[in-house]
Structure 1
């Protein structure tokens, strides 16, 4: 995700500064707008869009609802020039433009886009199964995907996202200490038959991407549009070329897959569609999904092809990662590395770890543990070894292991919002649960960085251990059976609970500038359309001041604050969880959602 990475020339801090000075876009975001794409693109505020993905009609005579797909070559190219110019105008200076197009006009639209001012970064071939069969020619089984940028020196490319990067053979096979722990960027690869390809090849990480086309029998097929793209394909493009909270625009809404995928991945979205019927169907799809929902279709493209090759059994892979068994030798190596880490902690005045979590939540101890695993030449990578450690801890197989003490939420409440927001952003974008995130050192380090951007701290960065402990303890607290039962028991009563006060953030700050008033209980921060985050506090003044001054928060354009007064800690937590479950603000972690009677909402 790298929203706040100092390595990016187009950093989030720059984006935040840009966003804070822009006026509102004339067209409402998070909507699909019916009408001509060229006319609608002219209404988009210049420089307001982060990513444009376009899958236009191919001009091959396909029967659409209202569009004529059999224009003359000149008319079609003039039409494309108009909408591509509109896309160029709408994009930010560091924005990206992805174009899906067939053979007939691939070369023409590539040159046309470059004439307009785009720079081509990649020419990807999307290879798919279930292509249209030809009798007197070769059956087509591919589409061209062009990746363009406005500025070849400053653009979003999240190459460290684990859903984009591919592990190296040095990591996975040879346990080579020289391996980059983040894996590697993919090769340029030609492979003829996917069933004959190595499991780590012919994947979405290469310039030939293999995903099954959404055929009529597929579960994810919507049925009203014949050219539906797979969500996993769009997910890869959206993840690599935008950040959570960015604006993704699709000029040709079609089946709505771009917009649905953008919503699931925590992006803002805007779509245009000529057909009124398609707009209705797209809105139905959008209303049926939430931020953080899994993408439809298999994440591992090899699962959509039946292998026909006979012979030697290959290493089993799941989502591009090898499944390495936890053998007796591996268990002993993990125990040895754990013991060495305990000795390191005692020597270096750290608290001596007594379980896997103590090591995962302390970066220096985890680095020591990984170093010991490398020295033992274990197969796999740091994530594999950390997951082994967790599995052994869950099975009570570590020497001198002790259970963790139940967390006291009051001790972590101050840092919980920043940690929760950082975890939500990363879990949506990286498709990781908490154990996977903290088992992956690069992802864990990025969590530390993002959480510090949201932290309510006027001093230096908070220690990583404090932030990791805060989110781990928050999850343990809200998942207690007694809390879940209390939310369910009080759901009907809480449904009628209204906020005690509501202000715009500017009004609140003005009203309480001279006579501060401490409100204790649950607060809700909203943008112009819906809640962004619901939390707890015993000092609302500090919370609102923090949000108004925090550049990371301002990226999400908070507008209003509501407060629900509640002095008792447990009752405040129950109320918070109920409100999160009801309104589903997208900056709250998904583990906060409780199973309450859905008929109430």
Structure 2
């Protein structure tokens, strides 16, 4: 598949249609939260119904491209206080509606609250607020709980397995933003990739941002497909990966000798 180990800049649905059925082992992503975050090239203030309808199309494509037993790790944060939406529940309901198996809910504890300003009713049960210092990672499987693979390609250690199988993960947020408002910390992606995939598997991030999923996939001997609509984010992802590729002697070897390439969605006709 010519999309492997490529940075693809284009609309998520347009690009995903080019991915063959049953060719991805693990999808890891965090969609735009629709709370007015200033992304480079995305309207983050859709109506809630339009937001859910758009992402439902993405989830359907995600299920299509996953192998039997393939996993989908979906990161989402609680919404704001004044306009609270149970988006994590709505996403879980959407996934179950399309036939995905819900298998876990990881609590990513970030503890980012330093100076409280939104107490609501101070020292009173009149109207107190709870500020979330956590995000969710919802984990789903396609068709089966089991992902088949060569046991020799399972590279998680006993200590890692014991640590990661506890669903309360304290991981500080990423401080190196690389021009993105909400980047993944590498540790979060490292845990998901090591726990839910084999070396050599294909890992997809359909809202790839500045490339953290692709980078960790590359470092851990997986193959990747990175999609994002922002040319700026894709350029940053390419530059980060190119730097790592030139230093690969520091990391484990990667199956298939991948070459990082930057492609726009207009080039996809030549890739498929």
Number of the residue aligned with 1:142: 134
Q: What's the Cα RMSD here?
A: 2.4
Between the aligned partners of 1:60 and 1:133, the Cα distance in structure 2 is 21
> Is the Cα–Cα contact under 8 Å of residues 3 and 19 in structure 2 kept in the other structure?
no
Q: 1:374-416 deviations in whole A, cap 9, x for unaligned? A: xxxxxxxxxxxxxxxxxxxxxxxxxxxxxxxxxxxxxxxxxxx
Number of the residue aligned with 1:281: 236
> Is the Cα–Cα contact under 8 Å of residues 163 and 236 in structure 1 kept in the other structure?
no
> Is the Cα–Cα contact under 8 Å of residues 53 and 249 in structure 1 kept in the other structure?
yes
Q: 1:74-96 deviations in whole A, cap 9, x for unaligned? A: 10001110101111001111211
> Is the Cα–Cα contact under 8 Å of residues 156 and 194 in structure 2 kept in the other structure?
no
CA 1:244–1:79: 2 relative to 1, 3 Å: same
Check if 1:238 corresponds to 2:193.
yes
Number of the residue aligned with 1:207: 167
State the Cα distance separating 1:139 from its structure 2 match: 2.8
Number of the residue aligned with 1:94: 69
State the Cα distance separating 1:242 from its structure 2 match: 1.1
In the TM superposition, 1:81-480 aligns within 5 A as 81-103=56-78, 104=85, 105-131=87-113, 134-136=116-118, 137-155=129-147, 161-166=157-162, 204-215=164-175, 221-290=176-245, 291=248, 293=250
Q: Which has the higher contact order (CA 8 A, sep 6+)?
A: 2
Between the aligned partners of 1:146 and 1:132, the Cα distance in structure 2 is 26
Between the aligned partners of 1:528 and 1:260, the Cα distance in structure 2 is 15
State the Cα distance separating 1:59 from its structure 2 match: 1.1
SS in 2 for 1:86: helix
**For the pair shown, which has the larger CA radius of gyration, 1 or 2?**
1
In proportion to residue count, which structure has more strand? 2
> Is the Cα–Cα contact under 8 Å of residues 123 and 145 in structure 1 kept in the other structure?
yes
Q: 1:242-289 deviations in whole A, cap 9, x for unaligned? A: 111111010001121100000000111011010111110000010111
In proportion to residue count, which structure has more helix? 1
> Is the Cα–Cα contact under 8 Å of residues 161 and 240 in structure 1 kept in the other structure?
no
Number of the residue aligned with 1:80: 55
Number of the residue aligned with 2:122: none
In the TM superposition, 1:521-600 aligns within 5 A as none
Number of the residue aligned with 2:43: 68
Moved over 6 A (4+): none
> Is the Cα–Cα contact under 8 Å of residues 133 and 140 in structure 1 kept in the other structure?
no
Between the aligned partners of 2:68 and 2:233, the Cα distance in structure 1 is 31
SS in 2 for 1:289: helix
> Is the Cα–Cα contact under 8 Å of residues 156 and 241 in structure 1 kept in the other structure?
no
CA 1:243–1:134: 2 relative to 1, 3 Å: same
CA 1:207–1:86: 2 relative to 1, 3 Å: same
> Is the Cα–Cα contact under 8 Å of residues 198 and 222 in structure 2 kept in the other structure?
yes
Between the aligned partners of 1:287 and 1:225, the Cα distance in structure 2 is 18
Q: Which runs of 5+ in 1 are unaligned?
A: 1-24, 167-202, 216-220, 295-423, 429-525, 531-601
CA 1:161–1:81: 2 relative to 1, 3 Å: same
Q: 1:149-177 deviations in whole A, cap 9, x for unaligned? A: 012342269696335322xxxxxxxxxxx
Q: Which runs of 5+ in 2 are unaligned?
A: 79-84, 119-128, 260-272
Number of the residue aligned with 1:52: 27
> Is the Cα–Cα contact under 8 Å of residues 155 and 199 in structure 2 kept in the other structure?
no
CA 1:31–1:253: 2 relative to 1, 3 Å: same
SS in 1 for 2:94: helix
